[in-house]
Every structure is written in structure tokens, then in C-alpha cells.
């Protein structure tokens, strides 16, 4: 009976919607039936829409406030909008690839029985959370205005901060992704709970570190 149940889980396709409602079950399905291209294409489309909304929400005042010379703001804004929109297509693929490679290296060191395809599929499905967060926040920003770099669902947005910085890293969908990463590494990659949480938190702290570096550069005196 138990073997039959396990075989059924392996045959069933994981669901992107299921990542919101039953992530544990989806990770079990990914372990036995990892899917990549369909989910990755859909997530890339969502990211592209979200990043396009971000680009459309940008204005000259935002760039000038970031230190861009006023006489160059219009040209830089046009280039930035195109760059941001195009980035939405490739950002998910690059993010999933880098995460999967790092996790595979750790898996080899920890002697965990997981394949690159399983990790790539797992990270792809987890990214639907970030895609949903991006789309929601940029849709709101497009409607009400404000700095599109600051998520409404982050501490920076809650506290009406003028810059995202470190506070921008503490964001609902981002933290949700950290929790799912730990769960996925435990269920799909068969990492111990301790190792899974350590890796997930390490990735999160790295993100905060980049936010801090960005804040320091923004606050640096202009020469």
C-alpha cells in the first residue's frame, strides 16, 4: 500500500498552484517527476510582465533622487526601462541556474542523493512565489505610484522608506521563499533539516548583504 502510494506521487506532475496550497506534496512530486520547461516558461512570462510594470512605473524624479544628473535623466530612463523589461525574461533562468549549481555542489559534499534536474525543477517551482510577489507589488505600484524598487509587502514599504536598502530584503514573499527553500531541500534533495535551513538562511543573509552594499553605495558621496 505504501509502495503504491509512493509510485502515484512519482507519476503525478507537480503543480505551480500547489506551491501555495500544498508545497510539501509538490516537493515529493518533484523528487519523483521533476518538470522544468513548462513551469520555467510560465514563470519567465510572469516575471517579464512584472518587470515591464516596474519599468512603466519608473519616472525621471526617481532617477534624479538616485543621483542621476537631471540633464541625462530622460535618456537614462528610456534605456533603463528597456533593460528592466528585458531582464525579466532572463532573471528567473539565471537565478534558478545559480541556486541549483551551488546546491548541487553542497549535495555532493553532503553525499545527498539528488540530481541537478531535481534541484533545477525544485528551484523553478519555488520561484513562482517570487514571481507572484513581483507581479502583485508592481501592479500596485503601477496603480498608486511611488518608487517601484520598494515592495509594498516589505518593511521598507511598510515604513514608507525612500530607499529599499536592507529593509527591502525583509519582504513577505521573499521570506516565504526562504521557508520553501528549506522545505524543498529537505523533501526533494533529502538534506537534513539542519543543513536545509542553514542553506536557505545563508541565501537570505547573502541577499541582505547585497541590500546593505547597495545602500552604502547609494549613500556614498558623489565625486
- State the pLDDT at residue 63: 64
Give the per-residue pLDDT at 66. Answer: 63
Per-residue pLDDT of the chain (223 residues; tens, 9 = 90+): 455 555 555 579 999 999 999 999 999 999 999 999 999 999 999 999 999 999 888 877 766 666 666 767 788 778 878 888 788 888 899 999 999 999 999 999 999 999 999 999 999 999 999 999 999 999 999 999 888 889 999 999 998 887 777 888 899 999 999 999 999 999 999 999 999 999 999 999 988 887 676 555 554 444 3
Q: What is the pLDDT of residue 79?
A: 82
Determine the Cα–Cα distance for residues 171 and 134; give it in Å rounded to an integer: 11
Q: Is the dihedral of CA 124, 130, 136, 140 positive or negative?
A: negative
End-to-end CA gap in the chain = 71
DSSP conformational letter for 161: -
pLDDT of residue 67: 65
Q: What is the pLDDT of residue 161?
A: 84
pTM of the model: 0.87
Write down the pLDDT at residue 65: 62
C-alpha cell at position 123: 528551484
> How would you label 176-200 residue by residue, b for 16+ Cβ within 10 Å and e otherwise?
bbbebbbbbbbbbbbbeeebbbebb
The pLDDT score that the predictor gives to residue 222 is 41
Amino acid at each position: 500500500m505504501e509502495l503504491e502510494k509512493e509510485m502515484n506521487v512519482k507519476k503525478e506532475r507537480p503543480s505551480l498552484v500547489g506551491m501555495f496550497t500544498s508545497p510539501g506534496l509538490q516537493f515529493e512530486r518533484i523528487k519523483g517527476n521533476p518538470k522544468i520547461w513548462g513551469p520555467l516558461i510560465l514563470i519567465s512570462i510572469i516575471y517579464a510582465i512584472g518587470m515591464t510594470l516596474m519599468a512603466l512605473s519608473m519616472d525621471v524624479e526617481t532617477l534624479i533622487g538616485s543621483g542621476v544628473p537631471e540633464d541625462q535623466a530622460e535618456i537614462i530612463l528610456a534605456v533603463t526601462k528597456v533593460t528592466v523589461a528585458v531582464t525579466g525574461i532572463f532573471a528567473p533562468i539565471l537565478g534558478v541556474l545559480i541556486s541549483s549549481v551551488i546546491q548541487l555542489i553542497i549535495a555532493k559534499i553532503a553525499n545527498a542523493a539528488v540530481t541537478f534536474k531535481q534541484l533545477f525543477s525544485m528551484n523553478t517551482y519555488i520561484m513562482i512565489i517570487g514571481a507572484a510577489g513581483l507581479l502583485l507589488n508592481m501592479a500596485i505600484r503601477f496603480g498608486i505610484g511611488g518608487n517601484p524598487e520598494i515592495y509594498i509587502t516589505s518593511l521598507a514599504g511598510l515604513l514608507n522608506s525612500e530607499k529599499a536598502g536592507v529593509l527591502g530584503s525583509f519582504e513577505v514573499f521573499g521570506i516565504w521563499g526562504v521557508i520553501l527553500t528549506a522545505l524543498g531541500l529537505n523533501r526533494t534533495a533529502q538534506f537534513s533539516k539542519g543543513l536545509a535551513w542553514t542553506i536557505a538562511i545563508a541565501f537570505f543573509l547573502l541577499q541582505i548583504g547585497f541590500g546593505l552594499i547597495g545602500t552604502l553605495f547609494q549613500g556614498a558621496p558623489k565625486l
